[in-house]
Amino acid sequence: MSKPVRVRFAPSPTGPLHIGGVRTALFNYLFAKKHNGTFILRIEDTDQNRYVEGAEDYIVESLNWCNIPFDEGPGKNEKFGPYRQSERKHLYKQYADELIASGNAYYAFDTAEALDAERKQHEANKETFIYNWHNRLNLNNSLSLSKEETQAKLDNGDDYVIRFKSPQDETLHLKDLIRGAIKIDTNILDDKVLFKSDGMPTYHLANIVDDHLMEISHVIRGEEWLPSLALHMQLYTAFGWDAPEFAHLPLILKPTGKGKLSKRDGDKLGFPVFPLEYTSPDGDISKGYKEEGYFADAVVNFLSFLGWNPGTEQELFNLDELISAFDLDRVNKAGARFDPDKIKWFNHHYMQEQNNDDLATTFQDNHSELNDIDVNYIAMCVGLVKERATFVSDFWGLTKFFFIAPENYDEKASKKAFKDETKDLMTKLISIVSNISDFDVETLQKEIKGWITGNDIGFGKVMMPLRLALVGALQGPDVFDIMYMIGKNETIKRLEKVISVL
RNA sequence: UGGAUGCUAGCUCAAUUGGAAGAGCGCCUGCCUCUCAAGCAGGAGGUUGUGAGUUCAAGUCUCAUGCAUCCAACCA
């Protein structure tokens, strides 16, 4: 039917990729895969002043960690390359010149200082300075100067920028896939700089040229670009090109209060706002979801619900399910509030699907106390407690009694569990345990429960102090599982110890 | 200040072309149990930001207003 779907994620390498950027990348990826299309990574590094070393690698690593790799991009399947705008520098000037030739753009020689002064003066008069039709003839450009003067300046090598000549008294009818029809009066638009004096294009020019050259079919980007849509559509018209479809995603808002989610919110409220840990050139470290123990699938699932929902009650989606369920029609318009508790909830669910051996390996790597312990044993412990864990880092607190005997007993629990007859009961229990030769869960259960019911003792009187002896607190999985795991000798040792403090 | 976009439960979001306001998370209660979670079941929670208008009928359309965000760079 229509053109093949080609979408791009076009971040600027100015630092670590924000979690909102990951969401934008994800939606592009889902849309591409849903329509058997191509997901492209393009690096928008036209601002050399803001370039940060390592940021591009960080972006690529983040996408890979999330399992949403790009199909085309720097160093990969370069059919439409290069994919770094700095390496496409030679392409842009001719297009700017083309716009000048067609009367859609003009040279401007105003210095940054002159424009700054204008802005300040307007501000003092409580006005807004806009460089456009109403004042461009009073400023220093090829429209206000004569042809000869302009040429003389160019020949002289004066610094210049190329500005778009925004039309007067027109109404633009724009279409956004998520927001519908938008009307814009061109009189309020300004003459945006398309080409900078350093020989680089601005975002606006590079973006349109590259999207055209790379045959992008759908532009899916953040809402912060919505005000630029009018300019971009006019550029397509000026070039005589077919424009792609546009979809502007809602912003991601702070968990508390109002406002856009920022790096500071993460620092303040203690959750990451970046996919991977990031160390800035200054040495500042920002937390990452990966390093904090989140599973990539959980992060992706959570992110997919920021501004989108499937219209059903299903919340748990793997990547394939997301691809088939995703639809731009179901992306909503309002800003999405970031809820750190919800992402933990997702992580807990994904924890249950993890392989115990893999979890055990990670767990062991993170705890030197476990160095000499058989990984299979650790995996069994993990299997017993993971239903109550959200992160691998929860494991130690949940399993330490499998590896080391409790040193003391929780005070409140002791009051509840230790009674006058406890000493006698525990002593008797030791002899029962000692006599069990098949030391497995079933036998333990049968023998001990049989003893309790047979003598009408009451479960709490035995089980609570027993649990306290083994764990040190009234917590943890099934008591018989614990006994089986630590073994007969250790069980008896712990019972003897608890008797000694009674 | 100007323009754009948005506003439904505490939070994330639902609600064919206008046609009885719903789910999940969180919270509370119960069940389960040797404990804490998890799990299961139930419950509370809403004048759809506010005010008008059009209509037999408005969360949905129109206008006004409030609040929030984005843009208003030779940043992206």
ipTM of the complex: 0.85
Measured between alpha carbons, how far is residue A442 from residues A426, A475, A479, A490 in Å? Answer: 20, 21, 12, 18
Among chain A residues 26-55, those with CB within 7 Å of any atom of strand B: 44, 46-47, 49-50
Tell me the two tokens of residue A404.
Answer: 């080391």
Coarse DSSP helix, strand, coil percentages of chain A, rounded to the nearest 5 percent: 50, 10, 40
A263 is catalytic: yes
- Confidence check: pLDDT of A273 > 90: no
Nearest to A87 by CA among A52, A132, A44, A35: A44
Nucleotides of B under 7 A from a protein CB: 1-8, 11-15, 23-26, 33-38, 67-76
Measured between alpha carbons, how far is residue A298 from residues A19, A60, A155, A238, A250 in Å? Answer: 13, 19, 59, 44, 21
Task: Count CB atoms within 10 A of the CB of residue A250.
Answer: 19
Residue A84 is predicted with a pLDDT of 95
Q: Please name the amino acid found at residue A122.
A: H
Tell me how far apart the alpha carbons of residues A168 and A185 are, in angstroms, rounded to a whole number.
9
Arithmetic mean of pLDDT over chain A:
88
Task: Count CB atoms within 10 A of the CB of residue A133.
Answer: 18
Write out pLDDT tens, residues A491-501: 999 998 988 88
Tell me the two tokens of residue A361.
Answer: 């390996």
Q: Please name the amino acid found at residue A203.
A: Y
8 A C-beta contact, residue A250 and residue A176? no
- Residues with Cβ < 8 Å from A22, sequence gap 6 or more? A62, A63, A66, A275, A299, A303
Helix (H) or strand (E) run with residue A56 in it? helix A55-65
- Between A76-80, A189-193, A325-329, the lowest mean confidence (pLDDT) is in A325-329
- Confidence check: pLDDT of A274 > 70: yes
Phi first, then psi, for residue A364 (nearest 5°) are: -60, -40
Among chain A residues 282-341, those with CB within 7 Å of any atom of strand B: 305-309, 311, 313, 315, 330-337, 339, 341
How far apart are the two ends of chain A, measured CA to CA in Å?
81
- DSSP of A458-472: -HHHHHHHHHHHHHS
Question: Three-class SS of residue A388?
Answer: helix
Q: Please name the amino acid found at residue A81.
A: G
- What nucleotide is nearest A47 when CA is compared to C1'? B75
8 A C-beta contact, residue A73 and residue A79? no
Question: Three-class SS of residue A457?
Answer: coil
Nearest to A235 by CA among A191, A285, A283, A197: A191
Residue A59 is predicted with a pLDDT of 95
Q: Is the CB of A281 under 7 A from strand B?
A: no
Q: Please name the amino acid found at residue A464.
A: M
**A77 beta partners:** none
Computed from CA positions of residues A328, A334, A335, A337, in that sequence, does the dihedral angle turn out positive or negative? negative
Residue A329 is predicted with a pLDDT of 82
Tell me how far apart the alpha carbons of residues A110 and A141 are, in angstroms, rounded to a whole number.
7
Q: Is the CB of A159 under 7 A from strand B?
A: yes
Question: Three-class SS of residue A218?
Answer: strand
What's the gap between Cα A261 and its chain centre?
A: 12
Tell me the two tokens of residue A380.
Answer: 């069994």
Task: Count CB atoms within 10 A of the CB of residue A118.
Answer: 16
* Nearest residue by alpha-carbon distance to C1' of B6: A334
Write out pLDDT tens, residues A207-239: 999 999 999 999 999 888 988 999 999 999 999
Tell me how far apart the alpha carbons of residues A199 and A401 are, in angstroms, rounded to a whole number.
66
3-state SS, A72-120, equals EECCECCCCCCCEHHHHHHHHHHHHHHHHHCCCEEEECCCHHHHHHHHH
Write out pLDDT tens, residues A147-173: 999 999 999 999 999 999 999 888 888
- Confidence check: pLDDT of A324 > 90: no
Catalytic residue, chosen from A196, A260, A263, A428, is: A263
pTM for this model (two decimals): 0.90
Nearest to A331 by CA among A174, A175, A217, A177: A177
As a whole-number percent, the residues of chain A with pLDDT over 70 amount to 99
Classify strands A38-41 and A278-279 as parallel, antiparallel or unpaired.
Answer: unpaired
Tell me the two tokens of residue A23.
Answer: 């969401």
* Nearest residue by alpha-carbon distance to C1' of B39: A387
Among chain A residues 186-245, those with CB within 7 Å of any atom of strand B: 188, 190, 193, 196-198, 200, 202-204, 223-228
Nearest to A192 by CA among A207, A177, A179: A207
Residue A1 is predicted with a pLDDT of 45
